[in-house]
Chain A
């Protein structure tokens, strides 16, 4: 009796889930296929279709060939810019956030809850509230239109997330552990190196993945504080679309989009579990 009503519902569930999943994958599939079709082929048909000739050359053109404004170096210099901003900013913000999270959760000092509260406000404050001050500060210290300037911004702003992540992880560590180490004469740094850091692998992976994804994908600061050859890849993609608006090169553009999305997609595929943990940890503040 139960099984008879059971089976059709199960089939329906699988059907609905598969259909939604197909819809979710469709844009990715379309772009991947387009990246392998020639510009002419796409222009004749539509964006959605199976490649007639596999146009692998799109990737070469996207990587180092096409022109934005007067420079024809493809997407490569902008990918390099993004890497040179994202990697240092991820490392710095994670390291500093781990130490800060450790200090506010396990050491407790005068005013720690106040300063921690203010730092976490950074999770909510719109970027637009900081655009003008950053512009002025970067200009005054000579870092406007430099990658170093973007590293500085992302490190300081990333601290809100990294401190929160690490602090919430470290509060679960028993205080007795720290107290015992302190009685043995271990100081702030030694306890961090010897006790805290070896316990931190899961939260550091979550933090690194979160920071990397966010900084790599960031657009507003990139487009505001850098221009021309200094832009990160997200800003360059917009510039590319604008540059070829009259004669779209959809094949090459698709390849460029795939290349730009690849680093974060790969990290997601490799560390999906940690990515989701960061997502929910950031949500349940």
Chain B
């Protein structure tokens, strides 16, 4: 590590004027970075602190221990949100990874119009979740959407009303989320497929491996680090999902599609229970850490192996 200050101060000049001369430089480096780092650390600690106070309408000091946490965990709202997160998270991650992988393999077959197709699968990522959620709420609304269309076409017993079905409504969010972000998985997998060692493929071809065997035995095994990354990023997205649900179901019917991020918002800004809202936010962070910490450990081990090898 070189020290910028000592190398740049010319001999003979008093150090203080050198430091003054370099003040604009220090300010532009440090102020934004310090602001960013300081807000991340202090805001996190602040929210954690509020979660241990009896704050309701405004933050107040005081200490209630884990009471906010036990209160949040005991509500039906949180229980439903957590169950939904487990279902939505696993279904969405699994299906979007499979969809993304299938799309990537299909696009990797040297087909014509690959660029156009790739753009089609990726465009939902450029659009806000509010927009896509709104559009899917129309398509899935039995009164005006797909069900109505099929009825008008003559098949009147056709039923597709998940949006208003308490048990199935969470799957409408799965559908919209897959549509929105499978392209992301595809992009990462495609990059991975393109970087598979050509010699490896050639050697397998010489051994007489057909396309299926080739993918199963040779190509897919090289993709698993990318798969882990995709899974973690999609999980991170699932845990913080908010806009999509707000626009698509707004947590309903009833509270059937409640998710943790909606519970946080509801507690903080609709019920003005700041302490409990903060506790719910910290719970969200803990869920996230349960995903990210193993991933960070795995990355660390991978890197150590790579440097030792």
> Are A and B physically bound partners?
yes
Interface membership of A193, Cβ < 8 A? no
Beta-carbon contacts under 8 Å, A234-285 to B: 234-235, 237-238, 241, 248, 250, 253, 257, 260-261, 264-265, 267-269, 272, 275-276, 279-280, 283-284
Beta-carbon contacts under 8 Å, A143-161 to B: 156-157, 159-160
**Cβ of B287 to closest chain A Cβ, rounded Å:** 9
**Cβ of A44 to closest chain B Cβ, rounded Å:** 10
Q: Given the interface contacts A219-B130, A261-B131, A264-B126, does A13 sit within 8 Å of B109 by beta carbon?
A: yes
- Total number of B residues with any Cβ neighbor in A under 8 Å: 92
Interface membership of A131, Cβ < 8 A? yes
Beta-carbon contacts under 8 Å, B116-145 to A: 117-132, 134-139, 141, 144-145
**Cβ of B45 to closest chain A Cβ, rounded Å:** 9
Q: Once the chains bind, are B111 and A14 in contact (CB under 8 Å)?
A: yes
Interface membership of A31, Cβ < 8 A? yes
Number of residue pairs across A and B with beta carbons under 8 Å? 257
Q: Given the interface contacts A25-B120, A48-B145, A250-B138, does A17 sit within 8 Å of B111 by beta carbon?
A: yes
Q: Which residues of B contact A284 (CB under 8 A)?
A: 229
CA distance A108 to B3 in the complex (A): 7
Q: Which residues of A contact B28 (CB under 8 A)?
A: 96, 99
1/0 per position for B26-49, CB-CB distance to A under 8 A?
Answer: 001100111111011111101100
Interface membership of A21, Cβ < 8 A? yes
1/0 per position for A179-190, CB-CB distance to B under 8 A?
Answer: 000100001110
- Residues on A lying within 8 angstroms of B by beta carbon are 10, 13-14, 16-17, 20-21, 23-25, 27-28, 30-31, 34, 42-43, 45-49, 96-97, 99-100, 103-104, 107-110, 115-116, 118-119, 121-122, 124-134, 136, 156-157, 159-160, 163, 182, 187-189, 213, 216-220, 224, 234-235, 237-238, 241, 248, 250, 253, 257, 260-261, 264-265, 267-269, 272, 275-276, 279-280, 283-284
- Residues on B lying within 8 angstroms of A by beta carbon are 1-4, 7-8, 22, 24-25, 28-29, 32-37, 39-44, 46-47, 50, 59, 103, 106-107, 109, 111, 117-132, 134-139, 141, 144-146, 148-149, 152, 179, 183-184, 187-188, 191, 229-230, 233, 236, 239-240, 242-243, 246-247, 261, 264-265, 268-269, 274, 277-278, 280-282, 284-285, 288, 292
